[in-house]
């Protein structure tokens, strides 16, 4: 099984990358959080991999942070959640926020993620609420510190939504912008977020 890849990034879009490793291009499905963590085309990147083997296909799913992969494996252990839906959940909410929502039994927040209905959300809460302590604390802290000022984060997300961007995409862009060093005023974060969205 492939568990990790390091190579040259030769293709990048919000849900898929292709990484050239010694002349072999590996297509990897990724969440939006990983999309913003990776470098530009031509950069050398390292990514955690989960290999999914089915009778009709072998698929690779990639994650920039260990905590993302750990949470993905927990999510896909729930009945009715396959790898694609697991990726969609990680694209719809940051790792730390998703963990908090599950631990706090926040059904409403989970059902706001595209593709997650009430019954699926209820299964997630029932099966995972007490099983997330093993998620990498370091990776969760990395994600958590991306939102040092909740007011700025939410106001910036609202501004991007007003500009026509969908909420999951806006949230990921803002979180990535907040991870960078620099001013954390709404204007500055919007500027960095728009730069990322235009890539």
Residues 12 and 37 in one domain: yes
Domain that residue 45 falls in = 4-63
Domain boundary pick from 63, 78, 104: 63
Residues 58 and 88 in one domain: no
Which tops the pLDDT comparison, 175 or 68? 68
Helix (H/G/I), strand (E/B), else coil: 112? coil
Residues 11 and 48 in one domain: yes
CA distance 188 to 33: 20
CA distance 128 to 116: 15
Residues 164 and 126 in one domain: no
Residues 52 and 110 in one domain: no
Which residues is 53 bridged to in the sheet? 58
Which tops the pLDDT comparison, 126 or 33? 126
Residues 79 and 126 in one domain: yes
Residues 70 and 109 in one domain: yes
Q: What stretch of H or E contains 3?
A: none
CATH number (domain holding residue 29): 2.40.50.140
Q: Could you report the per-residue pLDDT of 57-84, keeping only the tens digit for each?
A: 899 999 998 889 999 999 999 998 999 9
Q: For the chain, what is the domain count? A: 3
What's the pLDDT at 130?
A: 84
Q: What is the pTM of this model?
A: 0.69
CATH number (domain holding residue 171): 1.10.8
Q: Could you report the per-residue pLDDT of 4-62, keeping only the tens digit for each?
A: 999 999 999 878 999 999 999 999 999 988 887 888 899 999 999 999 998 888 999 99
Residues 6+ apart with CB under 8 A from 8: 19, 20, 21, 42, 43, 44, 45
Q: Is the dihedral of CA 8, 10, 13, 15 positive or negative?
A: negative
Burial pattern 73-110, b for ≥16 Cβ within 10 A else e, equals: ebbbebeebebebbbbbbbbbbbbbbbbbbeeebbebb
Nearest by Cα to 132 from 105, 111, 113: 105
CATH number (domain holding residue 88): 1.10.150.20
* Structure tokens that stand for 63 in this block: 């994650």
Helix (H/G/I), strand (E/B), else coil: 54? coil
Domain boundary pick from 13, 38, 63: 63
What's the pLDDT at 148?
A: 46
Percent of the chain scoring above 70 in pLDDT: 92
Residues 39 and 89 in one domain: no
Nearest by Cα to 90 from 107, 108, 73: 73
Domain boundary pick from 125, 143, 161: 143
Residues 40 and 91 in one domain: no
Neighbours of 43 (CB within 10 A): 11
* Structure tokens that stand for 110 in this block: 């989970």
Residues 19 and 44 in one domain: yes
Residues 47 and 81 in one domain: no
CA distance 97 to 102: 9
């Amino acid at each position: 099984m492939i568990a990790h890849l390091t190579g040259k990034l030769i293709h990048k879009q919000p849900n898929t990358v292709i990484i050239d490793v010694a002349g072999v291009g590996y297509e990897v499905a990724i969440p939006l959080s990983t999309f913003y963590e990776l470098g530009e085309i031509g950069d050398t990147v390292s990514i955690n991999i989960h290999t999914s083997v089915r009778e009709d296909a072998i698929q690779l799913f990639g994650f920039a942070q260990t905590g993302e992969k750990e949470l993905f494996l927990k999510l896909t252990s729930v009945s009715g959640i396959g790898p694609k839906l697991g990726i969609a959940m990680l694209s719809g909410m940051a790792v730390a926020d998703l963990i908090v929502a599950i631990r706090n039994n926040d059904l409403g927040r989970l059902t706001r993620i595209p593709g997650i209905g009430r019954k699926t959300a209820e299964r997630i809460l029932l099966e995972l609420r007490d099983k997330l302590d093993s998620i990498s604390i370091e990776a969760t802290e990395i994600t958590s510190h991306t939102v040092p000022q909740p007011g700025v984060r939410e106001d910036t997300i609202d501004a991007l939504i007003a500009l026509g961007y969908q909420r999951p995409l806006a949230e990921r862009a803002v979180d990535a912008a907040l991870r960078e060093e620099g001013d954390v005023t709404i204007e500055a974060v919007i500027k960095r977020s728009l730069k990322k969205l235009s890539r």
